């Protein structure tokens, strides 16, 4: 999807409301792996700033953490209709949003369904790492967050 189609899909949403993202991206594989391995994910995001989410805001106010900062790889950050878009120096555009709920994840190897355990020997460790729970993140003054390449987004609703 492109930036304009995402903005128009969420044009009627107000700050704080939820939206759903479906994406498919190539997995990070070990050297020498020739198979085309992809990961399809669905998750729910909130039309909100990361810094405004409760655990983050409270941790900053109490002095338990510093205010969040944009990652160093981001050369341009833009907010349009409550959506945050990040741009990398290589020209890639990303939708950056806090995640409220992680949904289904499906893997494919060369177009055929596969399980994570089937693919474990072919994927990098970063693909296999379990995500911290909401409670673990909140204890550190954090919430789930994604920065998804626009080219990998299949649908936003």
Distance (Å, whole) CA 155 – CA 157 = 7
Banded model confidence at residue 131, pLDDT cuts 50, 70, 90: confident
What is the predicted pLDDT for the residue at 147? 94
Contact 83, 50 (CB under 8 A): no
| Position 130 pLDDT exceeds 90 | no
Banded model confidence at residue 125, pLDDT cuts 50, 70, 90: very high
Distance (Å, whole) CA 85 – CA 136 = 27
Contact 146, 19 (CB under 8 A): no
By CB atoms closer than 10 A (0-12, 13-18, 19+), residue 54 is exposed
Residues 6+ apart with CB under 8 A from 125: none
Dihedral, CA of residue 25, residue 29, residue 34 and residue 36, to nearest 10: -20
DSSP E strand boundaries for 1-134: 18-26, 37-46, 74-80, 83-88, 93-109, 112-114
- What is the bridge-based pairing of β-strands 18-26 and 83-88? unpaired
Average of per-residue pLDDT values in the chain: 93
Q: Tell me the pLDDT tens digit for each residue of 63-119.
A: 999 999 999 999 999 998 889 999 999 999 999 999 999 888 999 999 999 999 999
Q: Whole-model pTM?
A: 0.86
Phi–psi pair at 75, nearest 5 degrees: -95, -20
């Amino acid at each position: 999807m492109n930036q304009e189609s995402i903005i128009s899909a969420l044009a009627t949403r107000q700050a704080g409301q939820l939206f759903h993202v479906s994406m498919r991206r190539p997995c990070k594989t070990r050297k020498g792996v020739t198979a085309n391995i992809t990961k399809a994910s669905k998750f729910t995001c909130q039309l909100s700033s990361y810094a405004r989410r409760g655990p983050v805001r409270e941790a900053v106010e109490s002095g338990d953490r510093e205010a969040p900062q944009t990652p160093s790889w981001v050369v341009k950050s833009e907010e349009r209709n409550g959506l945050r878009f990040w741009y990398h120096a290589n020209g890639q555009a990303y939708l950056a949003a806090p995640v409220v709920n992680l949904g289904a994840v499906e893997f494919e190897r060369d177009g055929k369904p596969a399980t994570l355990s089937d693919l474990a020997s072919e994927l990098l460790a970063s693909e296999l790492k379990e995500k911290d729970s909401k409670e673990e993140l909140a204890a550190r003054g954090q919430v789930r967050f994604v920065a998804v390449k626009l080219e990998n987004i299949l649908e936003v609703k």
